[in-house]
């Protein structure tokens, strides 16, 4: 119950109690007054009637006529007269009341009307009889019942007016508390809200000042650590001329791609060598050549914009290498031709057509390939292209037997058949808490086990992306979760940008998640890559994050690296954790690691280091890393 509700209920109860007490006292006083008036009227009527009867007491007909006349024109329950010996002379009594007063009201409210007795005596004061008169209580009941209904209406009317006024007053007085609550909720969802209008109440103003100060500190901490991370990334991993990644970053990312159990696990390497730079430097100068490289870097970025999680690195003064997940040699060659077309136009623009030419070497890579052999093959390909002394593309022919030689159509048949026949089997990769030395969560993937086919998640997922079957795979996995009960403490499932980008896909996904959270015992997380989350509209992602949070589901970011150069998406995504590859984390210097942990800590985001070699676990433990995922 909120503070507003508590105060509202307390004050409302007091006001309603006070109003009820005032109206009750007024009602009781009115009842007493009516009783008194009825008895007084009865007494006055009895005295007046006794005088009239004294003169006609010997004539019964006149006594009867006189009493009937008084009874008829008055409001009496009973009038009776007796002689001096207490023998009845005449008595008249009201049979029934025409007043419509509920019986329950009469039982609850009793009107005490007394029977008034007076002597009937002539002038000599000698008693000749007794007169008894009792007022009609039905009149009092009717008056009190009307008063009761009026009182109830007044109570309800003034109660509603009072409650409405109270609500308005409390809203005004406690308005600042809404701002404080929004600030607190904002921190939980990684939003930094500063109250500009401070409350007039001293105590609330002090609280608002404290909250503003705390929010500013958290915001400053996030911004400083984010900026530090960005600068460290630029120093460690960016080429200063082209703003592409450098050789150091390539040496980290290539092994990561080759170990990946996701859509990056197979694809193509493209090595670009720019020949004749010495001639270009002599002709247009080093500054212009640097400008040429900067523009060429932009061409490469635009050329790879449709590639799923590409990596572009300048590894030395004359060579640039591209990692193109999902792309086979033929599709990579088509992409290279488009790049070359724009590169040749750029060459003409800088008037160095006779000075330089481009050599492109292409080779395919697959999961768990050896880095040295892969680099040797792509270097062989580019060296072969350079032998032509002109713009040329060479594709290295890979004759090894692996999943990479399976054709696109064959992959479609295998994947669709496996999903249709429910031949995707779950695999769980554990997350280990190094402080407790126990498995605390699991990442769920599905391997194909169908007839003669056996493919790990990372082997067939590139084909899923290439064929556009991401949503179908996610729905299969969600249906599996609905049908099978998992009892793990925490479970995560990878989703793709397509699941959240298209509203129809998301609605189906959301309904499935609602069912899943009712069946699994522990927490449920949906993982999405940093690359995918950055392709989505921030407003949409924030709304989805809030919707999922209401269901008790949080985002997790995998393949976290900060390649975009900014970390603002962490605020609106509000993930529970991020996953970073071991090689990238271990390569960072102390300052970068501290900035990373401070950045994540300011948003209460956990760091999980993935693909950890067993021999590095102790070192990570000493550095304060809590959660790791060993190599599979």
- Residues 68, 69, 75, 80, CA torsion sign: negative
**What CA–CA distance (Å, rounded) separates 393 from 107?**
106
Asked whether residue 175 is assigned to any structural domain, the reply reads no
Between 350 and 188, whose confidence is greater?
A: 350
Do 114 and 75 fall within a single domain? yes
Question: Angle CA(264)–CA(373)–CA(327) in degrees, nearest 5?
Answer: 30
Q: What is the pLDDT of residue 403?
A: 46
Write b or e for each residue in 520-547: b if 16 or more Cβ atoms lie within 10 A of its Cβ, otherwise e.
Answer: beebbbbbbbbbbbeebeeeebbebbee
Residue 400 has pLDDT above 60, yes or no: no
Between 629 and 40, whose confidence is greater?
A: 629
Percent helix / strand / coil, the chain, rounded to 5: 55, 20, 25
Asked whether residue 68 is assigned to any structural domain, the reply reads yes
3-class state of residue 266 by DSSP:
coil
Instruction: Say how many C-beta atoms besides its own lie within 10 A of residue 146's C-beta.
Output: 11
Is the distance from CB of 385 to CB of 393 less than 8 angstroms?
yes
Residue 272 has pLDDT above 70, yes or no: yes
Q: What is the mean pLDDT of residues 18-25?
A: 79
Do 531 and 593 fall within a single domain? yes
Do 390 and 413 fall within a single domain? no
Do 214 and 257 fall within a single domain? no
Is the distance from CB of 509 to CB of 498 less than 8 angstroms?
no
**What CA–CA distance (Å, rounded) separates 41 from 29?**
18
Res. 474 pLDDT band, cuts 50 70 90? very high
Asked whether residue 398 is assigned to any structural domain, the reply reads yes
**What CA–CA distance (Å, rounded) separates 45 from 443?**
98
Asked whether residue 90 is assigned to any structural domain, the reply reads yes
3-class state of residue 287 by DSSP:
helix
**What CA–CA distance (Å, rounded) separates 559 from 288?**
36
Asked whether residue 275 is assigned to any structural domain, the reply reads yes
Residue 397 burial by CB count (10 A; 0-12/13-18/19+): exposed, middle or buried? exposed
Do 310 and 363 fall within a single domain? yes
Residue 120 lies in domain: 3-170
Secondary element (H or E) of residue 48: helix 3-56
Number of domains in the chain: 4
Q: What is the pLDDT of residue 199?
A: 65
Q: What is the mean pLDDT of residues 479-500?
A: 90
Q: What is the pLDDT of residue 401?
A: 43
Between 554 and 57, whose confidence is greater?
A: 554
Least confident among 60-64, 78-82, 125-129, 189-193: 189-193
Among candidate residues 403, 429, 456, the one where a domain is terminated: 403
Q: Which of 190, 235, 246 is nearest to 591 (CA)?
A: 235
DSSP letter at 421 equals T
Asked whether residue 392 is assigned to any structural domain, the reply reads yes
Between 13 and 280, whose confidence is greater?
A: 280
Q: What is the pLDDT of residue 176?
A: 62
Q: What is the mean pLDDT of residues 592-602?
A: 86
Do 137 and 261 fall within a single domain? no
Q: What value does the mean pLDDT of the chain take?
A: 86
% of the chain residues with pLDDT over 70: 91
Q: What is the pLDDT of residue 124?
A: 63
Residue 5 has pLDDT above 80, yes or no: no
Do 550 and 453 fall within a single domain? yes
Residue 399 has pLDDT above 50, yes or no: yes
Can you name the residues that pair with 608 across neighbouring β-strands? 579, 627
Do 10 and 127 fall within a single domain? yes
Q: Which of 269, 369, 368, 243 is nearest to 325 (CA)?
A: 269
Q: What is the mean pLDDT of residues 425-442?
A: 93
CATH number assigned to the domain comprising residue 60? 3.30.450
Q: What is the mean pLDDT of residues 185-211?
A: 66
Instruction: Compute CA distances 312 → 323, 415, 501, whole Å.
Output: 7, 30, 26
Instruction: Say how many C-beta atoms besides its own lie within 10 A of residue 382's C-beta.
Output: 24
Res. 293 pLDDT band, cuts 50 70 90? very high
Do 108 and 163 fall within a single domain? yes
Secondary element (H or E) of residue 77: strand 76-83
Q: What is the mean pLDDT of residues 399-425?
A: 79
Among candidate residues 358, 373, 403, the one where a domain is terminated: 403
Q: What is the mean pLDDT of residues 597-609?
A: 89
Do 136 and 14 fall within a single domain? yes
% of the chain residues with pLDDT over 90: 43
pLDDT tens, position by position, 74-120: 788 888 888 877 888 888 888 766 667 787 777 778 887 888 888 88
Residue 623 has pLDDT above 80, yes or no: yes
Asked whether residue 478 is assigned to any structural domain, the reply reads yes
What are phi and psi for residue 305, nearest 5 degrees? -65, -25
Is the distance from CB of 581 to CB of 557 less than 8 angstroms?
no
Token output for 298: 């932009």
Between 202 and 129, whose confidence is greater?
A: 129
Q: What is the mean pLDDT of residues 596-600?
A: 87
Q: What is the pLDDT of residue 188?
A: 56
pLDDT tens, position by position, 301-333: 999 998 989 999 999 999 999 999 999 999 999
Do 118 and 88 fall within a single domain? yes
Asked whether residue 77 is assigned to any structural domain, the reply reads yes
Q: Which of 412, 363, 353, 409 is nearest to 384 (CA)?
A: 363
HSE-up (13 A, CA, CB side) for residue 468: 0
CATH number assigned to the domain comprising residue 418? 3.20.20.450
Q: What is the pLDDT of residue 294?
A: 94
Do 135 and 219 fall within a single domain? no
CATH number assigned to the domain comprising residue 298? 3.30.70.270
């Amino acid at each position: 119950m909120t503070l507003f509700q508590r105060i509202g209920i307390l004050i409302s109860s007091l006001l309603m109690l006070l109003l009820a007490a005032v109206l009750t006292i007024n009602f009781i006083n009115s009842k007493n007054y009516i009783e008194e008036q009825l008895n007084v009227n009865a007494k006055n009527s009895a005295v007046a009637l006794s005088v009239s009867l004294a003169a006609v007491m010997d004539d019964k007909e006149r006594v009867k006529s006189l009493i009937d006349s008084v009874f008829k024109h008055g409001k009496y329950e009973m009038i009776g007269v007796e002689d001096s010996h207490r023998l009845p002379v005449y008595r008249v009594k009201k049979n029934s009341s025409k007043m419509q007063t509920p019986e329950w009201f009469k039982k609850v409210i009793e009107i005490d009307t007394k029977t008034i007795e007076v002597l009937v005596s002539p002038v000599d004061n000698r008693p000749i009889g007794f007169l008894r008169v009792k007022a009609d209580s039905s009149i009092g009941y009717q008056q009190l019942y009307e008063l009761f209904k009026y009182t109830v209406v007044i109570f309800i009317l003034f109660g509603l007016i009072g409650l409405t006024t109270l609500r308005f007053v409390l809203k005004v007085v406690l308005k600042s508390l809404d701002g404080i609550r929004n600030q607190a909720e904002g921190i939980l969802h990684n939003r930094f809200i500063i109250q500009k209008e401070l409350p007039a109440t001293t105590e609330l103003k002090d609280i608002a000042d404290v909250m503003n100060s705390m929010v500013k500190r958290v915001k400053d901490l996030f911004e400083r650590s984010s900026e530090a991370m960005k600068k460290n990334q630029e120093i460690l991993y960016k080429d200063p001329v082209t703003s592409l990644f450098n050789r150091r970053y390539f040496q980290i990312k290539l092994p990561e791609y080759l170990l990946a159990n996701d859509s990056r696990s197979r694809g193509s390497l493209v090595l670009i060598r720019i020949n004749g730079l010495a001639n270009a430097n002599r002709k247009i100068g080093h500054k212009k050549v640097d400008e040429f490289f900067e523009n060429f870097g932009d061409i490469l970025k635009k050329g790879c914009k449709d590639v799923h999680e590409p990596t572009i690195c300048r590894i030395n003064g004359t060579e640039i290498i591209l990692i193109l997940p999902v792309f086979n040699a033929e599709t990579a060659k088509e992409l290279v031709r488009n790049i070359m077309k724009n590169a040749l136009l750029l060459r003409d623009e800088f008037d160095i057509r006779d000075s330089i030419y481009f050599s492109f070497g292409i080779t395919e890579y697959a999961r768990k390939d050896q880095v040295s052999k892969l680099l040797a093959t792509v270097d062989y390909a580019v060296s072969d292209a350079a032998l032509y002394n002109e713009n040329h593309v060479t594709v290295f022919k890979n004759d090894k037997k692996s999943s990479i030689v399976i054709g696109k159509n064959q992959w479609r048949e295998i994947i669709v058949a496996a999903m249709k026949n429910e031949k995707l089997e779950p695999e769980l990769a554990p997350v280990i808490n190094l402080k407790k030395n126990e498995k605390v969560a699991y990442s769920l993937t599905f391997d194909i086990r169908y007839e003669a086919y056996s493919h790990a998640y990372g082997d067939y997922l590139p084909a899923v992306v290439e064929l556009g079957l991401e949503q179908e795979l996610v729905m299969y996995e969600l249906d599996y979760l609905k049908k099978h009960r998992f009892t793990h403490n925490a479970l995560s499932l990878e989703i793709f940008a397509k699941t959240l980008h298209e509203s129809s896909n998301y609605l189906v996904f959301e309904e499935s998640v609602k069912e899943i959270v009712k069946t699994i015992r522990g927490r449920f997380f949906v993982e999405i890559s940093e690359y995918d989350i950055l392709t989505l509209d921030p407003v949409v992602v924030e709304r989805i994050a809030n919707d999922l949070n209401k269901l008790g589901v949080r985002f997790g970011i995998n393949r976290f690296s900060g390649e975009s150069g900014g970390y603002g998406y962490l605020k609106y995504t509000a993930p529970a954790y991020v996953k970073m590859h071991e090689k990238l984390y271990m390569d960072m210097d102390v300052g970068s690691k501290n900035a990373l942990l401070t950045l994540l800590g300011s948003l209460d985001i956990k760091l999980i280091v993935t693909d950890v070699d067993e021999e590095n676990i102790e070192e990570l433990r000493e550095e304060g890393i809590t959660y790791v995922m060993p190599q599979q």
